[in-house]
């Protein structure tokens, strides 16, 4: 096998490894807890939206259970979603998410921190409960799904851009029709004005002729002797 092919495969393996979540100490309410961290090459807002999208796939509805837009469902800087049913978890769990921007180009990089609780902030760590493994599998699923999600999001945004551009073009075309109608009306007004000018010239000539005739009669009339 060629060295270039081996290097390419190696890079893929390294990239996949880096894309997986890993256990880490995460501070919640000033106390360090064992949780999971995942880094994604997407903005903070995209990662937040992606989390709720994946929660919906579990049957959870963030819009009605916890009032998404998240900001109203935040505890100690974490977005909390309770009673989540995960594949492989014996009982529903509560998931605590925190999303931060990272890197120099923060708008395209974010870090997701996740804590897993059995309820009432009874947090669990690796090796304590199969629910933690289920939660890690759930989080790792973000890696492959997020690219498709981001692509679909970009497609939706681009469709909106195209739609707005088309609306702008339609408005310009409508304006052109309106302007053309105004031009046609102005041209008609101009023709009418020119016709009226010609008629006025003829009337002036007629009235001048009458004036000349009247002046001629005045000159030819005999002077009355006194």
Report the distance separating Cα 119 and Cα 116, nearest Å. Answer: 9
What are the φ and ψ backbone dihedral angles of 32, each rounded to 5 degrees? -70, 135
Q: State how far the Cα of 26 lies from the Cα of 115, in Å rounded to an integer.
A: 8
The three-state secondary structure class of 121 is coil
Which among 118, 96, 103 has a CA at the least distance from the CA of 35? Answer: 96
Tell which residue, 10, 19, 59, 14, has the closest CA to residue 40: 19
Which H helix or E strand runs over 157? helix 130-220
Tell which wins on pLDDT, 84 or 103: 84
What are the sequence ranges of the domains in the chain? 19-159
Residue 66: per-residue pLDDT: 46
Q: What is the pLDDT of residues 175-195, one digit of tens each?
A: 999 999 999 999 999 999 999
DSSP string covering 19-71, please? Answer: HS-EEEEEEETTEEEEEEEEEESS-HHHHHHHHHHHHHHTT--TTTSS-SSSG
Report CA-CA distances (Å) from 142 to 5, 42, 146.
Answer: 28, 12, 5
Q: Span 19-159: which CATH code? A: 3.30.310
Tokens of 134: 């289920």
Longest C-alpha distance within the chain, in Å?
144
Q: In 81-96, which positions are buried (b, 16+ CB within 10 angstroms) versus exposed (e)?
A: bbebebeebeebbbbb
Whether residue 45 has pLDDT greater than 90? no
Report pLDDT digits (tens) over 54-95: 888 888 876 655 444 445 567 888 988 889 999 989 999 999
User: What confidence score (pLDDT) does residue 5 get?
Assistant: 44
Query: Cβ(123)–Cβ(116) under 8 Å?
Result: yes
pTM: 0.61
pLDDT digits (tens, 9 = 90+) for 130-170: 999 999 999 988 887 777 777 887 898 899 999 999 999 99
Q: Which residues pair with 165 in a beta bridge?
A: none
The pLDDT, as a whole number, for residue 56 is 85
Structural tokens at position 59: 């049957």
Average pLDDT over residues 11-17: 42
The rounded distance, in Å, linking the Cα atoms of 195 and 192 is 5
Q: Is the Cα dihedral 139, 143, 145, 147 positive or negative?
A: positive
Q: Of 110, 134, 131, give the one whose Cα is nearest residue 122.
A: 131
pLDDT at 11: 41
pLDDT above 70 as % of the chain: 81
pLDDT score, position 167: 96
Whole-Å CA distances, 18 to 11, 101, 170, 180? 10, 17, 48, 62
């Amino acid at each position: 096998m060629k060295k270039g092919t081996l290097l390419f495969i190696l890079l893929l393996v390294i990239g996949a490894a880096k894309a997986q979540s890993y256990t880490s100490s995460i501070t919640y309410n000033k106390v360090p807890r064992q949780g999971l961290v995942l880094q994604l090459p997407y903005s903070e807002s995209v990662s937040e939206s992606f989390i709720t999208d994946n929660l919906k796939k579990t049957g959870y509805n963030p819009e009605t259970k916890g009032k998404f837009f998240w900001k109203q469902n935040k505890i100690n800087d974490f977005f909390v979603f309770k009673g989540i049913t995960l594949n492989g978890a014996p009982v529903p769990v509560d998931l605590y998410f925190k999303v931060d921007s990272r890197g120099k180009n923060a708008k395209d990089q974010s870090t997701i921190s996740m804590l897993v609780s059995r309820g009432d902030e009874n947090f669990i760590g690796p090796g304590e409960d199969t629910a933690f493994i289920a939660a890690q599998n759930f989080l790792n699923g973000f890696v492959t799904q997020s690219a498709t999600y981001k692509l679909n999001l970009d497609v939706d945004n681009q469709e909106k851009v195209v739609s707005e551009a088309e609306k702008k073009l339609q408005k310009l075309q409508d304006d052109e029709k309106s302007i053309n109608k105004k031009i046609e009306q102005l041209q008609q007004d101009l023709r009418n004005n020119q016709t009226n000018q010609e008629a006025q010239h003829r009337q002036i000539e007629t009235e001048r002729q009458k004036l000349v005739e009247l002046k001629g009669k005045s000159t030819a009339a005999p002077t009355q002797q006194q």
